[in-house]
Amino acid sequence: GAVVSQHPSRVICKSGTSVKIECRSLDFQATTMFWYRQFPKQSLMLMATSNEGSKATYEQGVEKDKFLINHASLTLSTLTVTSAHPEDSSFYICSASRDLELEAFFGQGTRLTVV
Amino acid sequence: GENVEQHPSTLSVQEGDSAVIKCTYSDSASNYFPWYKQELGKRPQLIIDIRSNVGEKKDQRIAVTLNKTAKHFSLHITETQPEDSAVYFCAASNTGGFKTIFGAGTRLFVKA
Protein backbone atom coordinates (compact mmCIF):
# COMPACT_ATOMS: atom_id res chain seq x y z
CA GLY A 1 0.00 0.00 0.00
CA ALA A 2 0.87 3.66 -0.20
CA VAL A 3 2.77 5.41 2.61
CA VAL A 4 1.66 8.56 4.37
CA SER A 5 4.01 10.05 6.92
CA GLN A 6 2.97 12.52 9.58
CA HIS A 7 5.28 14.62 11.72
CA PRO A 8 5.68 15.15 14.59
CA SER A 9 4.14 12.14 16.31
CA ARG A 10 3.94 13.97 19.62
CA VAL A 11 4.14 17.62 20.54
CA ILE A 12 3.65 19.57 23.74
CA CYS A 13 3.20 23.32 23.47
CA LYS A 14 2.26 26.21 25.68
CA SER A 15 -1.10 27.94 25.52
CA GLY A 16 -1.10 30.74 23.00
CA THR A 17 1.58 29.31 20.75
CA SER A 18 1.14 27.76 17.32
CA VAL A 19 1.97 24.25 16.23
CA LYS A 20 2.51 22.97 12.70
CA ILE A 21 1.83 19.36 11.73
CA GLU A 22 3.05 17.94 8.43
CA CYS A 23 1.47 15.21 6.33
CA ARG A 24 3.46 13.76 3.44
CA SER A 25 2.60 11.18 0.85
CA LEU A 26 5.93 9.42 0.35
CA ASP A 27 5.40 7.32 -2.75
CA PHE A 28 2.46 8.86 -4.53
CA GLN A 29 0.99 12.22 -5.38
CA ALA A 30 -2.13 13.32 -3.56
CA THR A 31 -4.17 16.20 -4.88
CA THR A 32 -6.45 15.81 -1.88
CA MET A 33 -5.62 15.13 1.74
CA PHE A 34 -7.90 15.05 4.74
CA TRP A 35 -7.38 16.15 8.33
CA TYR A 36 -9.15 14.46 11.21
CA ARG A 37 -9.29 15.00 14.91
CA GLN A 38 -9.82 12.22 17.38
CA PHE A 39 -10.59 12.66 21.09
CA PRO A 40 -9.91 9.76 23.47
CA LYS A 41 -12.27 6.85 22.92
CA GLN A 42 -14.07 8.70 20.16
CA SER A 43 -14.29 8.50 16.42
CA LEU A 44 -12.32 10.35 13.78
CA MET A 45 -14.01 13.64 13.05
CA LEU A 46 -13.28 15.16 9.68
CA MET A 47 -11.99 18.69 10.09
CA ALA A 48 -11.18 19.73 6.55
CA THR A 49 -10.33 18.65 3.04
CA SER A 50 -6.99 19.95 1.84
CA ASN A 51 -6.77 20.64 -1.89
CA GLU A 52 -3.45 21.12 -3.62
CA GLY A 53 -3.11 24.65 -4.94
CA SER A 54 -6.40 25.92 -3.56
CA LYS A 55 -8.12 26.73 -0.32
CA ALA A 56 -9.09 23.99 2.08
CA THR A 57 -12.72 23.06 2.58
CA TYR A 58 -13.65 23.08 6.24
CA GLU A 59 -16.38 21.06 7.90
CA GLN A 60 -19.11 22.83 9.76
CA GLY A 61 -18.00 24.06 13.15
CA VAL A 62 -14.28 24.01 12.39
CA GLU A 63 -12.64 27.42 12.63
CA LYS A 64 -10.59 28.03 9.51
CA ASP A 65 -8.64 30.86 11.13
CA LYS A 66 -7.62 28.64 13.98
CA PHE A 67 -6.76 25.54 11.98
CA LEU A 68 -4.74 26.76 9.01
CA ILE A 69 -4.25 24.28 6.21
CA ASN A 70 -1.74 24.64 3.42
CA HIS A 71 -1.37 22.14 0.58
CA ALA A 72 1.52 23.64 -1.34
CA SER A 73 2.59 20.56 -3.24
CA LEU A 74 1.21 17.23 -4.38
CA THR A 75 2.98 15.44 -1.54
CA LEU A 76 2.66 17.80 1.42
CA SER A 77 -0.17 19.26 3.45
CA THR A 78 0.32 21.12 6.71
CA LEU A 79 -2.07 21.84 9.55
CA THR A 80 -1.21 24.73 11.85
CA VAL A 81 -3.06 25.03 15.12
CA THR A 82 -2.87 28.72 15.95
CA SER A 83 -3.10 30.23 19.43
CA ALA A 84 -3.45 26.79 20.92
CA HIS A 85 -5.57 26.21 24.02
CA PRO A 86 -5.74 23.17 26.29
CA GLU A 87 -9.05 22.16 24.68
CA ASP A 88 -7.18 21.78 21.38
CA SER A 89 -5.31 18.87 22.91
CA SER A 90 -6.18 15.87 20.79
CA PHE A 91 -4.94 13.28 18.32
CA TYR A 92 -4.71 14.79 14.84
CA ILE A 93 -4.44 12.46 11.88
CA CYS A 94 -4.24 12.99 8.14
CA SER A 95 -5.13 10.76 5.24
CA ALA A 96 -4.54 10.78 1.51
CA SER A 97 -5.74 8.83 -1.47
CA ARG A 98 -4.08 8.17 -4.76
CA ASP A 99 -5.87 9.98 -7.55
CA LEU A 100 -9.10 8.35 -8.68
CA GLU A 101 -8.77 5.69 -5.99
CA LEU A 102 -11.02 5.40 -2.99
CA GLU A 103 -8.79 3.74 -0.42
CA ALA A 104 -7.45 6.22 2.11
CA PHE A 105 -4.02 5.84 3.67
CA PHE A 106 -3.48 7.35 7.09
CA GLY A 107 -0.53 9.06 8.66
CA GLN A 108 0.57 7.79 12.05
CA GLY A 109 -1.10 10.70 13.82
CA THR A 110 0.09 13.53 16.03
CA ARG A 111 -0.75 13.70 19.70
CA LEU A 112 -0.95 17.38 20.64
CA THR A 113 -0.90 18.41 24.27
CA VAL A 114 -1.39 22.07 25.09
CA VAL A 115 -0.31 23.06 28.59
CA GLY B 1 -25.08 16.24 6.16
CA GLU B 2 -23.55 12.82 5.80
CA ASN B 3 -23.82 10.55 8.80
CA VAL B 4 -22.68 7.04 9.63
CA GLU B 5 -24.12 5.23 12.63
CA GLN B 6 -22.38 2.24 14.14
CA HIS B 7 -23.54 -0.36 16.67
CA PRO B 8 -22.69 -1.68 19.15
CA SER B 9 -20.28 0.70 20.83
CA THR B 10 -18.77 -2.14 22.84
CA LEU B 11 -18.72 -5.84 22.06
CA SER B 12 -17.29 -8.59 24.21
CA VAL B 13 -17.00 -12.15 22.85
CA GLN B 14 -15.33 -15.37 23.84
CA GLU B 15 -12.36 -16.51 21.80
CA GLY B 16 -13.57 -18.57 18.87
CA ASP B 17 -16.99 -16.93 18.72
CA SER B 18 -18.14 -14.62 15.95
CA ALA B 19 -18.46 -10.85 16.18
CA VAL B 20 -20.81 -8.71 14.14
CA ILE B 21 -20.73 -4.93 13.85
CA LYS B 22 -23.44 -3.03 12.00
CA CYS B 23 -23.49 0.37 10.34
CA THR B 24 -25.96 2.53 8.50
CA TYR B 25 -25.25 5.52 6.30
CA SER B 26 -27.34 8.47 5.22
CA ASP B 27 -25.76 9.70 1.98
CA SER B 28 -27.21 7.77 -0.93
CA ALA B 29 -24.22 8.87 -3.04
CA SER B 30 -21.86 6.79 -0.90
CA ASN B 31 -20.34 4.01 -2.93
CA TYR B 32 -17.29 2.86 -0.97
CA PHE B 33 -17.41 1.33 2.50
CA PRO B 34 -14.12 0.59 4.24
CA TRP B 35 -13.63 -0.94 7.66
CA TYR B 36 -10.69 0.06 9.82
CA LYS B 37 -9.06 -1.47 12.87
CA GLN B 38 -7.37 0.92 15.25
CA GLU B 39 -5.18 -0.05 18.15
CA LEU B 40 -4.55 2.38 20.97
CA GLY B 41 -2.54 5.40 19.88
CA LYS B 42 -2.02 4.11 16.34
CA ARG B 43 -3.33 4.94 12.93
CA PRO B 44 -6.41 3.18 11.53
CA GLN B 45 -5.57 0.18 9.39
CA LEU B 46 -7.82 -0.88 6.54
CA ILE B 47 -8.95 -4.47 7.06
CA ILE B 48 -11.55 -4.86 4.34
CA ASP B 49 -13.64 -2.71 2.05
CA ILE B 50 -16.62 -3.12 -0.22
CA ARG B 51 -17.91 -1.13 -3.15
CA SER B 52 -21.52 -0.43 -3.93
CA ASN B 53 -21.68 -2.79 -6.88
CA VAL B 54 -20.95 -5.76 -4.61
CA GLY B 55 -23.21 -7.27 -1.95
CA GLU B 56 -20.67 -9.33 -0.04
CA LYS B 57 -16.92 -9.74 0.25
CA LYS B 58 -14.85 -12.16 2.28
CA ASP B 59 -11.20 -12.30 3.26
CA GLN B 60 -10.31 -15.27 5.45
CA ARG B 61 -12.03 -14.72 8.82
CA ILE B 62 -13.46 -11.34 7.87
CA ALA B 63 -16.50 -10.67 5.74
CA VAL B 64 -18.52 -7.60 4.93
CA THR B 65 -22.06 -7.35 3.59
CA LEU B 66 -23.79 -4.38 2.00
CA ASN B 67 -27.48 -3.67 1.52
CA LYS B 68 -27.68 -0.55 -0.61
CA THR B 69 -31.45 -0.36 -0.50
CA ALA B 70 -31.50 -0.27 3.27
CA LYS B 71 -28.18 1.62 3.48
CA HIS B 72 -26.81 -0.98 5.85
CA PHE B 73 -23.44 -2.66 5.92
CA SER B 74 -21.95 -5.09 8.40
CA LEU B 75 -18.63 -6.56 9.44
CA HIS B 76 -18.43 -10.21 10.43
CA ILE B 77 -15.39 -11.66 12.17
CA THR B 78 -15.42 -15.42 12.66
CA GLU B 79 -13.24 -17.54 14.95
CA THR B 80 -12.20 -14.47 16.90
CA GLN B 81 -8.79 -14.35 18.55
CA PRO B 82 -7.47 -12.16 21.39
CA GLU B 83 -5.41 -10.19 18.88
CA ASP B 84 -8.64 -9.12 17.20
CA SER B 85 -9.29 -6.94 20.25
CA ALA B 86 -9.24 -3.31 19.07
CA VAL B 87 -11.55 -0.52 18.02
CA TYR B 88 -13.24 -1.03 14.67
CA PHE B 89 -14.60 1.81 12.57
CA CYS B 90 -16.90 1.59 9.63
CA ALA B 91 -16.85 4.42 7.10
CA ALA B 92 -18.52 5.62 3.97
CA SER B 93 -17.27 7.74 1.11
CA ASN B 94 -18.05 8.49 -2.51
CA THR B 95 -16.14 9.11 -5.69
CA GLY B 96 -17.50 12.63 -5.86
CA GLY B 97 -15.79 14.19 -2.90
CA PHE B 98 -13.67 11.30 -1.70
CA LYS B 99 -14.03 12.39 1.90
CA THR B 100 -14.57 9.58 4.35
CA ILE B 101 -17.12 9.80 7.15
CA PHE B 102 -16.52 7.47 10.06
CA GLY B 103 -18.86 5.67 12.40
CA ALA B 104 -18.45 6.14 16.13
CA GLY B 105 -16.45 2.96 16.53
CA THR B 106 -16.90 -0.40 18.24
CA ARG B 107 -14.56 -1.50 20.96
CA LEU B 108 -14.16 -5.26 20.57
CA PHE B 109 -12.89 -7.38 23.43
CA VAL B 110 -12.04 -11.00 22.72
CA LYS B 111 -11.66 -12.98 25.92
CA ALA B 112 -9.27 -15.91 25.96
How many CB atoms lie under 10 A from the CB of residue B107? Answer: 15
How many CB atoms lie under 10 A from the CB of residue A60? Answer: 5
CB A105 within 8 A of CB A78: no
pLDDT, position B52: 87
- Is the pLDDT reported for residue B1 higher than 70? no
Detail the DSSP E strand segments found in B1-112. Answer: 4-7, 10-14, 19-25, 32-38, 45-51, 56-59, 62-67, 72-77, 86-92, 101-102, 106-111
Kindly determine whether residue A95 and residue B105, on different chains, have CB atoms separated by under 8 Å: no
Detail the DSSP E strand segments found in chain A. Answer: 4-7, 10-13, 19-25, 32-38, 44-51, 57-58, 67-73, 76-81, 90-96, 105-106, 110-114
CB contacts of B49 in chain A (<8 Å) are 102-103
pLDDT, position A98: 79
CB contacts of A104 in chain B (<8 Å) are 34, 46, 93, 100
- Residue B86 CA to residue B30 CA, distance in Å, equals 26
pLDDT, position B94: 81
CB B42 within 8 A of CB A91: no
pLDDT, position B86: 97
- Is the pLDDT reported for residue B100 higher than 90? no
Average pLDDT over residues B5-30: 96
Average pLDDT over residues B1-5: 85
> By CA distance, what is A98's nearest residue in B?
B98
Residue among A46, A102, A106 minimizing CB distance to B43: A106
Kindly determine whether residue B93 and residue A32, on different chains, have CB atoms separated by under 8 Å: no
Kindly determine whether residue B105 and residue A43, on different chains, have CB atoms separated by under 8 Å: yes
Kindly determine whether residue A44 and residue B95, on different chains, have CB atoms separated by under 8 Å: no
- Residue B36 CA to residue B34 CA, distance in Å, equals 7
CB contacts of A43 in chain B (<8 Å) are 89, 102-105
- Is the pLDDT reported for residue B96 higher than 80? no
- Splitting chain A (115 residues) into consecutive groups of 10 residues, what average pLDDT does each group show? 91 97 93 91 91 89 94 92 96 87 88 97
